[in-house]
A and B are shown apart, each in its own frame.
Chain A
Amino acid sequence: MSEGIGTKFDKVCAILDKYEHNPHKLIAILQDLQEEYSYLPEDIMTFVSTALGVSPSKVYGVATFYSHFTLQPKGKHVIKLCDGTACHVKKSHDILNALEKHLGLTAKENTTPDMLFTLELVACLGACGLAPVVVIDDKVYGPMTPESTLALVDKIREEEGVCGDN
């Protein structure tokens, strides 16, 4: 996308206006920005700190404190695997291992090179009655097995026109 410097921060400005440049609304502002960009780019965070009159370290501090924020671009489809107590005792780790193996991901490298999937291990999603639970793009699935989870992933791959073995 070719955006000039003049228009690059238009969306950010609109979000800042929505919250009346109120530094107390920093978390809500960052949430809206992440919704817009799918992650928090560094230059945007610097811009926000100047606009709100707070130090960049404060913005960075908040952005890195909360697990919902990410400084790395995420894949098109976000797979959240619940590792709450109920899911854990019902073997959510078997699903994690299967997914990591299937997608070639690790805890550090959690987005596929083709930017199709990001795998996140999250704390309780509150759907413990269905444990173990997997959430793909905000749709909740459960109770899951490694096999049924991989089937879901493959279905998405198929829909995206990517063949199973990359």
Chain B
Amino acid sequence: MITKTLEERKQAYLENLSKYKARIMICAGTGCVANGSLEVYEEFVNKIEEHGLSVSVAVGLEKEADYVMAKSGCQGFCQMGPLVTIYPQGILYIKVKPEDVDEIIEKTILNGETVDRLLYVSPETNKPIGKADDIPFYSRQRRLGIKLCGHIDALDMEEYIANGGYAMAEKAFTQMTGEEICKLMIESGLRGRGGGGFTTGRKWELTRIQEDPVKYIICNGDEGDPGAFMDRCLLEACPHSVIEGMLIAAKAVGAQEGYIYVRTEYPLAVQRLKIAVEDARKSGFLGKDVFGSGSDFDIHIMEGAGAFVCGEETALIASIEGNRGMPSPKPPFPAQSGLFGKPTVINNVETFANVPVVMQMGAEAYASIGTATSNGTKTFALTGHVMNTGLIEVPFGTTLRQIIGDIGGGVLNDDGTNCGLDYKAVQIGGPSGGCLTKEHLDLPLDYETLKSVGAMVGSGGLVVINQQTCMVEVARFFMQFTQSESCGKCVVCREGTKQMLNLLTDIVEGRGTAETLELLEQLAETVKVGSLCGLGKTAPNPVLSTLKYFREEYNAHVFEGRCPANQCEAFKKYIVIEEKCKSCGLCARKCPVNAIEGAKGVPYTIDKEKCIKCGACVESCKFNAIMIG
């Protein structure tokens, strides 16, 4: 089936690419598509043809053309989308609209000039920056696992090959033994990127030594953490790297079949994966006799059905088997008895994407990046109240100062102003993780240091929270999430999270007492100890960590009857601003509980005892004379 070698395909692709005068790459990740990048794409095709020039939609098509278009996956800089990059210069235009296309063609594509108004402007120097690599958001990252994301046509397998793709899988299948691959992985120190941080090579080795001839590889793409989207980005932008990682794992342990379990909330990722798997089959990289090695390996794609707990490996296995996604006790570990009772390697999407990188770099070079215990890089989804939201990849050991300040460009207040590094908290690791505060600004982030301060790497969600946010409410939000996602198997998780949520709701709604706080802490410990899987074990983390670092906020709610962030409805007070009040009486008529009194010529007042905080008065006032304080 294979007619050309990988090297021949690489050369053919590069030769084809060199024939075009320019390449226009449009970001077609979920974020940019939502901002209208596909319309921009269409406009480029139409306008170029209107200029009497020819354009091809992919590299290497038979049709000769002057220009070539490409749709990349997520480039990570979602907030600035739609992103358009013009090659060979590599000029990045941000927030491009269809009406800008004409100017880009006239100036950049035909005359090699830049359109300054569409360039990213550095907030530090106020100067426009032409190339993506020079923008601090990108230049201060170190991209390994997501290196190709956004730089290649997500669906063009030839371009992946031209960037060295599948060479490592071929090497694994034709030149290496399973034992050698496992050894290399152990030496590289690559650890699971899904949150647990277990050494990948050890997992593989344990599976490899099992005697059962039938083994499975599972790729965990059930990225359920609210506020995390690195797996989505990888699957959308570079699905072949994940397939290649799985292939290498298959060779390492001797597996014949693999599953990729993707969240159904990611339709674009599912669609692109399906195409990528089909393309890989056509080239003989998947299916029978992979790379002519005599071994077989094929991949099935399974869409999840919306259950966060399925991110837990034993629950995910139950889900693939067609059952409710409930976890089971370990041991036996999946490496011993996993899918359909067979030895199974189960790794996260990002882990698999890093496997070819590790092989390419070599174990030693990879291990030299990062900290002593956490090697390599980690992708984080930087979101929340931060200037530059998006996907970033940095070496382990990078600090929050670097991430939020240098890459993220500072913290945003509710009113949109930038307050530098004055954040209240950074929630890391989603509903299983914890909060970091300003005292952790220079903490080198890795698996161990985060654990020591009561947080965790998790899957890599980094949500920046500004000073105007109530931390008790944030804790309640996470508890609500874990409570509704608890599978119900363990009583302390099922009932405990529910009671914890009730207690937190009591505090937020002004019914909290000293006893509420005490109960909350006790229950948190119980749920932690008495649950089987990671969901229950880590569910109390956001509460415990906010209690540790923001105790005064809890105390203010409980003992002082106020919300320091002024966010919780129950503590809001409605006050008439005397200077603004025209005594029209409209608010008094609208008030459903007759809590407002006044007379002509005298400013009205609100009886705090009677007020039910419905907000009807604020809506009715034409002079903005009623303040919520």
Interface residues, chain A, CB within 8 Å of chain B?
Answer: 22-28, 30-31, 58, 61-62, 65-69, 83-86, 88-90, 122-131, 133, 138-142
Chain B nearest CB from A12 CB (Å) reads 17
The verdict on B31 contacting chain A, using a C-beta distance below 8 Å, is: yes
Chain A hits for B324, CB < 8 A:
61-62, 65-66
Chain A hits for B241, CB < 8 A:
none
The verdict on B319 contacting chain A, using a C-beta distance below 8 Å, is: yes
Cα separation A164 to B258 with both chains bound (whole Å): 51
Cα separation A89 to B33 with both chains bound (whole Å): 23
- Partner of B30 from A25, A65, A122, A140 at Cβ < 8 Å: A140
Could you tell me if B226 and A84 are in contact, using CB atoms closer than 8 angstroms?
Answer: yes
The verdict on B341 contacting chain A, using a C-beta distance below 8 Å, is: no
- Partner of A123 from B33, B224, B305, B319 at Cβ < 8 Å: B224
Count: A-B pairs, CB below 8 Å: 136
Could you tell me if B78 and A68 are in contact, using CB atoms closer than 8 angstroms?
Answer: no
* Nearest B-chain residue to A141, judged by Cβ: B34
Cα separation A124 to B390 with both chains bound (whole Å): 15
13 A-B pairs besides A66-B325, A138-B267, A140-B33 with CB distance below 8 A are A27-B302, A66-B306, A66-B324, A85-B430, A123-B485, A124-B225, A124-B227, A126-B30, A128-B228, A129-B383, A130-B79, A141-B34, A142-B31
Which has the most chain A C-beta neighbours within 10 Å: B303, B305, B308? Answer: B305
Interface-located stretch among B289-297, B461-469, B590-598: B461-469
Chain A nearest CB from B468 CB (Å) reads 10
Cα separation A30 to B319 with both chains bound (whole Å): 13
Interface residues, chain B, CB within 8 Å of chain A?
Answer: 30-31, 33-35, 78-79, 81, 223-229, 232, 263-267, 302-308, 319-325, 340, 381, 383-385, 389-391, 427, 430, 461, 463, 465, 469, 474, 477-478, 481, 485, 487
Could you tell me if A126 and B305 are in contact, using CB atoms closer than 8 angstroms?
Answer: no
Could you tell me if B35 and A130 are in contact, using CB atoms closer than 8 angstroms?
Answer: yes
Chain A hits for B31, CB < 8 A:
127, 129-130, 140, 142
Could you tell me if B322 and A24 are in contact, using CB atoms closer than 8 angstroms?
Answer: yes
Cα separation A140 to B232 with both chains bound (whole Å): 15
- Partner of A88 from B265, B389, B391, B477 at Cβ < 8 Å: B477
Chain A hits for B305, CB < 8 A:
27, 30-31, 66-69
Chain B hits for A141, CB < 8 A:
34
A-B contact pairs, 29 of them (CB 8 A): A24-B320, A26-B323, A27-B319, A28-B302, A31-B303, A66-B324, A67-B305, A67-B307, A68-B264, A68-B304, A69-B305, A69-B306, A85-B384, A85-B430, A86-B389, A88-B477, A89-B469, A90-B385, A122-B265, A124-B224, A124-B229, A127-B30, A128-B383, A129-B79, A130-B34, A133-B34, A140-B30, A140-B31, A141-B34
Chain B hits for A30, CB < 8 A:
305
* Nearest B-chain residue to A133, judged by Cβ: B34
Cα separation A62 to B305 with both chains bound (whole Å): 10
Cα separation A138 to B268 with both chains bound (whole Å): 10
